[in-house]
């Protein structure tokens, strides 16, 4: 990550771990993705998962560490190591 990108963060991130469920609700098909929590902030979280199709602005339901609600995908990064997404919590 570039230093500029890190400086734009508005909230401190805290390391986290454990499973996270991401539920994509679609009128034709609801899909549940299992992932791993990487870090959390007061209004968001970052997770590793296996679905490169998450797009910026897409909304998902989530459940992790006893917290559940609705979040918007802020970004998705696909690398050789896997897929990561950052989420902004809308409710929950």
Q: Which domain holds residue 8?
A: 3-91
- Reported residue count of the chain is 92
With beta carbons less than 8 A apart as the criterion, state whether 72 and 59 touch.
Answer: yes
Beta strands in the chain (DSSP E): 14-15, 19-24, 31-41, 44-49, 59-64, 67-79, 82-91
pLDDT per position as a tens digit, 57-82: 999 999 987 889 999 999 999 988 89
Number of domains in the chain: 1
CATH number of the domain to which 85 belongs: 2.40.10.220
- At 10-56, the pLDDT tens digits run 778 888 889 999 999 888 888 999 999 999 998 999 999 999 999 99
Residues contacting 57, CB < 8 A, separation 6+: 72, 73
Global pTM? Answer: 0.84
- The pLDDT of residue 4 is 53
């Amino acid at each position: 990550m570039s230093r500029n990108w890190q400086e734009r963060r508005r909230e401190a991130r805290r390391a986290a771990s454990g499973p996270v469920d991401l539920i994509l609700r679609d009128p034709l098909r609801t899909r549940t993705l299992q992932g791993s929590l990487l870090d959390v902030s007061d209004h968001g979280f970052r997770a590793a998962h296996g679905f490169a199709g998450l797009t910026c602005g897409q909304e998902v339901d989530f459940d992790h560490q006893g917290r559940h609600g609705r979040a918007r995908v802020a970004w998705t990064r696909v690398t050789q190591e896997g897929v990561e997404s950052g989420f902004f919590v809308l409710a929950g």
